[in-house]
Structure 1
Amino acid sequence: MTAVPALSGVDLARQALLAAREEARKNGAPKKQPTRRTGPTLRRDGREPLGLAAAITMMMTERGLVAPATGGSVLAQWETILAVAAPELAGHVQAVKFAVDTGRLDVAPDAPAYATKTRWCVVVD
């Protein structure tokens, strides 16, 4: 005769769930499968990539800053913006050109390693 091991925790819960489903089936409950989500879900819990413009806007909103978004002010304040947004890149990435109509910012890193770090930090919208 083989001894049946005592059930505990997850096994007991699994058996209770199966018994409840069987009882519901006997009582005429309809078989309804849960609907699956097919579209992407967007969570803003800090793990999703964020575009540079959105990151700067969020940072300015959190700190209560109001600054004009003209090309001259972005280029003039680039070192300050970079020091807050990505301090590891400060002094190694220079802003070259800002297109106000498209919101595109062209930067020039000092070395290929900083170009790679810039790509990791910045996601284009």
Structure 2
Amino acid sequence: MPFLDDDVVLAFDPDFGGRLSEFAALHPVWVCQSPANREAAERLWAKDGHAHQVTVFTRANMTSPENAFISLMDTIDQHHPMWRRLSVFGCQATPAVREALADYGGSTFEEMPGGFAVDRGALALG
């Protein structure tokens, strides 16, 4: 399966490291800083195969996954301006999250275990 850079994965789950390799093989992944996630990212970086596809971010001053997600959206959109789908783990699609995503064209939400996915309409991509 080809690498899909218009599908971006965001993980606010501190224990996401075990799944990092599976997602990074196909998509850019942004994962929150934790010992397990950092260790998994460093293993991938050492292999050099997926180094450019994994970004570790710090949630230090973000009180909740919801706030962290909303705070990160500008950065995600700047780094991946053509994103069509965000798969988000460790955060729920609360009304505030949905409202923030509406500003980026997020229109179709799908609940999934441990998170949600959102698709962006073609008009938002301009």
TM-score, with structure 1 as normaliser: 0.29
Q: Which one has the bigger strand percentage? A: 2
Bigger-Rg structure (1/2): 1
TM-score, with structure 2 as normaliser: 0.29
